[in-house]
Structure 1
Amino acid sequence: MDSYQTPLSSRYASKEMSKLFSNATRFGTWRKLWLNLAIAEKELGLPISDKAIEQMKANLDLDEAQMKVAAEEEKKRRHDVMAHVHTFGTVAPEAAGIIHLGATSCYVTDNADLIFLREGLDILIPKLAIVIHRLAAFAKQYRDLPTLGFTHFQPAQLTTVGKRATLWLQELLWDLRNLERARNDLGFRGVKGTTGTQGSFLALFNGDHDKVEALDKRVTELFGFPYAYPVTGQTYSRKIDFDVLAPLSSFGATVHKMATDIRLLANLKEMEEPFEKDQIGSSAMAYKRNPMRCERACSLARHLGLLCQNAWMTSSVQWFERTLDDSANRRVTLPEAFLTADILLSTLQNITEGLVVYPKVIARRISQELPFMATENIIMAIVKAGGDRQECHEKIRVLSHEAGAVVKHEGGENDLIDRVKRDPYFKPILGELDALLEPSTFIGRAPEQVDKFIAEWVEPALAPYQSHLKDIKAAELAV
């Protein structure tokens, strides 16, 4: 209560993402890195005892007492890694002399960060698949419900509610592709030494280059990475951070666009995000139903979008083999990017599972605008009935301006069709007017586009995530 906590973890983010970037996970991962380094060094002939390995294995998790010891050591030594080397040695005394053997601090800090990037993406990607799955179901449900389309936020030709949802879906699919690529491209720093030359390990193995390469490969394998970066300085290139945060930032743009669309539709009363029974929209205006989830999504999406610029700048100013001006920066930027993306996905899950559509409001808005859109059809019908195209065009033009004046200057309803019906000139097609004004004839191939898009693009993209989707379906059925 009396110290600052980031709302990203204290208010919004999931427990699993908050735990991933916790101190307990970070320092526990360092211990795993020291353990696997020792295992690989022992396999390659260095004199490391079985008891040392056993003690390290038995003490990978830090309790509160261990954390306090490490904190006290860091105060004295002003070096977090060496503080934890010492602390680990207190509970694994047989290993105290070989912990961190041949390594530099970035062996644990950088390799741990790469592990966190990978595991963070492993948390985010299935959540994104769930959002796509739910939005695809929404698009199917409303595949053929006509709605007024907008260009420049001005009335345009009709589309369907489901087709509009596919515009959001397509961008989410690109985000899924981008995050998968970033995840699958990730390598390991491995064991590279102080400036990346592996000189310390070459000394440990008495100049045996093959054993140094084998050590790098073995430690990488023990952590399940497909490869280690072939060359590094003291750190892995900070360009990797940008390569991960850029698709997260791009995902933020998708979220902002989608949430903004829903906010605008909420103002039009055509669609709303879920609104709970006892939810309060305003402390003063009791009637209000503010789109607070979409507003939160827009707010956090802007924050996420900016973080990749930070990664870009950090990557660009790393001098030679490394500088330390990246450290404090990355301690903030990397966790915040993943926590923010995690919050956005949980918010989108909530929104997409409960979107509310108001067909009657949509139909009323269509009825206000459709007469203008139907004028070309009316002209064609008159021509087919033997009329003159230019004469009909002038008639329609005059009546349209009169009806527009009623709407704009008098606040009335669009009465263009009533004017057409009263004009004797249009008597030959009066029986066709209702058919000419049927909204479903103005939506083109929108329903078919929805069907084909979901079948050919969405379903194949979701195929690898069926186990996650089944878990969600089972949980929803249970409720």
Structure 2
Amino acid sequence: MRTVQTEPSPPSPTPPTPPTPLADAGVPLGPLDGRYRPVVAPLVEHLSEAALNRERLRVEVEWLIHLTEHQVVPGARRLTEAETARLRGLAAGFGPADVAEVAEIERVTVHDVKAVEYLLKRRMAGTTLEDLTELVHFGCTSEDINNLAYALMVRGAVQQVWLPAARAVVHSVTAMAHELADLPVLARTHGQPATPTTLGKELAVLAHRLRRQLGRVERAEYLGKVNGATGTWSAHVVAVPAVDWAEVSRRFVEGLGLTWNPLTTQIESHDWQAELYADVARFNRVLHNLCTDVWTYISLGYFVQVLDQQSQGSIGSSTMPHKVNPIRFENAEANLEVSTALLDVLASTLVTSRLQRDLSDSSMQRNIGSAFGHSLVALDNVRRGLAGLDADPAATARDLDANWEVLGEAVQSVMRAAGIAGTPGMDEPYERVKELTRGRRVDGETMRQFVAGLGLPDAERERLLALTPAGYTGLAAELVARYLPRD
């Protein structure tokens, strides 16, 4: 019998170690908690889930203090100064341990506002405040707490974070407008050469628009209510009928620095939020317009991007070494579009609630932080992008000198005025200039020869002969000085 020799089987390969799931490694899902985190971090103090619970706690504490201070509920004693300070310190010192404890309680209650209420009662237990625990959340529905918490959160985010960033950008645009007020540039209407302007005047237009929208945001009202399950104070009146609960509510809401809304369903109607978000979205859109215009000026060579020391090692293109891309403005465009889309959907949906209450607003309002976060990222990019620009007068001068035909408007306007004043031979001024200039390039010599042969009075002829595209900017520089206030 013949034995068959066989090769030994190779050892089985060691199976690869499965990778750690990215979620377990703490990898963020979105850019606001990833690459943009350093920019948006200030908003975490105002528009995060933790901030919401902190403000809920603040409202619960202040309502308890308000009821005791004004002796609203018979039998409820006044707080001592130390007790008041202790209660307010709970909200002021709300930190990671409190966040974790609220989450632990909510796993049992499956109700976020009730979890905050129970946290407060836990903190009062075993202290001199224990006798007042049942006054916590007295007469309140969850929305009495939530609407006030959101108003405080959004107000803080707008006034302390978003507005300062927006003002910084507008300040930069305003300063550039004044600096470049006298720099003539060729205008482009429909993308075609048009009557010259100055770079500063065009920036002033954008600064003026942005300032108007800032004014609207700065004048925003932040409304609030505390009136029970369906906005009727029913439980309050049944429990303590002798009290003017509407007046108690008004004084409480206004004491938080908010505007009182006396007529609501279970929820505060959110109209103020819709108004605010529409104004911020409009600011975003104007800022987007600035980005596209500045991008175009960079493309035309009117602005040169200056590399600072930190940018020397940056790469504009993976294949074209010469490129310095206007990425700050392109990044801002994208983030403005995301922010504006979120603000639009917030504004359009928050104003509607089925009958006395539905929960659509609860989920929707959790996106407020994202809406402001993307706007904040855009503001940071625009500010940094503007800081890296230098105007190039040589480039603007070349462009103007190559387009003498734009003086056609000036020539035909002078001819019209001269004809009206009785100068003969000034008929059909528009048509005559059109024949010279439309669809063709005209140099300075050709334009001067045309003007010299028109038969204009001496003063008008000499004024036109001395005119150049760079000098044909009208009141542009004066408009900046007169109508755009310096910050």
Instruction: Note whether the superposition's TM-score is higher than 0.5.
Output: yes
Shift of 1:285: 1.5
Amino acid at match of 1:152: H
Residue equivalent to 1:364: 398
Q: Distance in 2 between matches of 1:394 and 1:69?
A: 81
Give, in angstroms, the shift of residue 180 of structure 1. 1.9
Distance 1:368 1:335 in 2: 49
Q: What per-residue deviation string (whole Å, max 9, x for no partner) do you get for residues 33-56 of structure 1?
A: 111111111123231563764542
Structural RMSD (CA)? 3.4
Partner SS state of residue 223, structure 2: coil
1:448 matched residue in structure 2: 478
Spell out the pairing of 1:329-344 with structure 2 (5 A cutoff): 329-332=364-367, 334-344=368-378
Length-normalised TM-score, structure 2: 0.79
Q: Per-residue CA shift, 1:310-347, capped at 9, x if unaligned? A: 12442354111111122112211x22222223223323
Aligned residue runs from structure 1 range 178-257, under 5 A: 178-182=216-220, 185-189=221-225, 191-204=226-239, 206-210=240-244, 212-225=245-258, 227-257=259-289
Q: Is the 8 A contact 1:274 1:351 kept in 2?
A: no
Aligned pairs (5 A) from 1:4-403: 4-12=28-36, 13-45=39-71, 46=73, 47-48=76-77, 50=79, 53=84, 55-60=86-91, 61-93=93-125, 94=130, 95-123=132-160, 124-182=162-220, 185-189=221-225, 191-204=226-239, 206-210=240-244, 212-225=245-258, 227-272=259-304, 275-276=307-308, 277-278=311-312, 279-332=314-367, 334-371=368-405, 373=407, 377=411
User: What are the superposed Cα offsets for residues 277-322 of structure 1, whole Å, 9 maximum, x if unpaired?
Assistant: 3232122211111111111111112122222331244235411111
User: Does structure 2 retain, via aligned residues, the 8 Å contact 1:235–1:321?
Assistant: yes
Q: Distance in 2 between matches of 1:432 and 1:105?
A: 78
* Corresponding residue SS for 1:11: coil
Counterpart code for 2:67: E
Assess, with a 3 A threshold, how the Cα gap between structure 1 residues 274 and 27 changes in structure 2: closer, same or farther: farther
Contact 1:374 1:437 in 2 (8 A): no
Give the superposition deviation at 1:148: 0.2
Summarize deviations over 1:334-389 as a string: whole Å, max 9, x none: 222222232233233223344321110110011111255359649979x99x9966
Q: What amino acid does structure 1 have at the position aligned with 2:476?
A: A
Which one has the bigger helix percentage? 1
Structure 1 regions of 5+ residues with no counterpart?
405-413, 463-479
Name the SS for the 1:97 alignment partner: helix
Single out whichever of 361-370 and 26-35 deviates more from structure 2. 26-35
Structure 2: runs of 5+ lacking an equivalent:
1-24
Same amino acid, percent of matched pairs: 23
Is 144-153 or 62-71 further displaced after alignment? 62-71
SS, match of residue 185 in structure 2: strand
Question: Alignment partner of 1:149: what SS?
Answer: strand
Q: Which amino acid aligns with 1:50?
A: L
Q: Which has the larger radius of gyration?
A: 2
Query: Distance between the aligned counterparts of 1:252 and 1:219, measured in 2?
Result: 34
Q: How much has 1:127 moved relative to structure 2?
A: 3.1
Q: What is the total number of aligned residue pairs between the two structures? A: 436
Distance verdict in 2 for CA 1:346–1:422, change over 3 Å: closer
Q: Secondary structure at the match of 1:176?
A: helix
